[in-house]
Amino acid sequence: MTTIVVTGGTGTLGRPVTRRLAERGHDVRVLSRHSPRYPVDLREGTGLAAALDGADVVVHCASGPRGDEQAARRLVAAMRAAGVGHLVYISIVGVDRVPIGYYRAKLAVERIVEESGIGWTVLRSTQFHDLVVTLLQAAAKLPVMLLPSGVSDQPIEVAEVADRLADLATGEPAGRVPDMAGPEVLGLPALARAYLRATGRRRPVVSVPLLGKGYQGMRNGGHLAPRQAVGEATFEDYLARRFGTQE
């Protein structure tokens, strides 16, 4: 049995990662700001040493809109002090190709992990189906769904990413492993129409050009990995499971 700390173990990805590892018989510690057993704000680090005491592996899924670099530095320092031997980090396809603030921070965290002196593994994946639905739900609050024109996505089922992370966490440090991407590249209008069908809603879908290098990076498909389309569950599969069939 291995003792594995899952940072962000209460999140969309962290929950299934935690479940998989516990099912395989590992001692799993869920660390997050609101975790009942290991409540730690990684940006501050209070309680981190106790959470890592005696741990073998950390799967780093915690993330927020700000402070990820600071959190990673604290995590790495505390792991070194505690002698934890393997840090597994989940990143995003295209963090080096799409210049938006969150991706820049993820790329910086990748560097911190790689230069940590700790055995490391980094997996990049595309967007989870859940996130795409969250974004479409927000867009559907208006009477017209306004979407950035010319942008596609390649969403993946979070359970499949969780399976892969659980495998990586129980293996040897592997460095940067092949990216994981969903089975289909779909334009945002197609994703939006599928979402509207599944939820029984009606909205005109309008594509709007945007400005900026981040948008250009996405238009160029920097966040996609068509050659790594290893995901099996499609967006339609996800919608059917989550919303049931409305037609």
Q: Where on the chain is the footprint of ligand NAP (CB under 6 A)?
A: 7-8, 10-14, 32-34, 40-43, 61-64, 67, 71, 90, 92, 106, 125, 127-128, 131
Min dist CB 108 to ligand NAP, Å, is: 13
Token digits of residue 228: 């790594």
- Kindly tell me which of 42 and 196 has the beta carbon lying closer to ligand NAP: 42
Min dist CB 143 to ligand NAP, Å, is: 27
Give the Cα separation of 224 and 237 in Å (integer).
20
- Kindly tell me which of 135 and 240 has the beta carbon lying closer to ligand NAP: 135
Min dist CB 170 to ligand NAP, Å, is: 19
Token digits of residue 243: 């919303």
- Kindly tell me which of 20 and 106 has the beta carbon lying closer to ligand NAP: 106
Give the Cα separation of 94 and 92 in Å (integer).
6
Min dist CB 16 to ligand NAP, Å, is: 9
Min dist CB 247 to ligand NAP, Å, is: 27
User: Hey, is 58 helix, strand or coil?
Assistant: strand
The DSSP call for residue 226 is G
Question: Residue for token digits 């599928």?
Answer: 194
CA distances to 15, 28, 74 from 4, in Å? 13, 5, 18
Min dist CB 204 to ligand NAP, Å, is: 26
User: Hey, is 125 helix, strand or coil?
Assistant: strand
DSSP string, 64-77: -SS-HHHHHHHHHH
The amino acid occupying position 209 is P
- Kindly tell me which of 105 and 147 has the beta carbon lying closer to ligand NAP: 105
- Kindly tell me which of 45 and 173 has the beta carbon lying closer to ligand NAP: 45
- Kindly tell me which of 12 and 216 has the beta carbon lying closer to ligand NAP: 12
Phi, psi (rounded to 5 degrees) for 51? -65, -30
Min dist CB 69 to ligand NAP, Å, is: 11
- Kindly tell me which of 66 and 206 has the beta carbon lying closer to ligand NAP: 66
194 near 206, Cβ under 8 Å? no
Which residue's Cβ lies closest to ligand NAP?
11
Give the Cα separation of 36 and 181 in Å (integer).
33
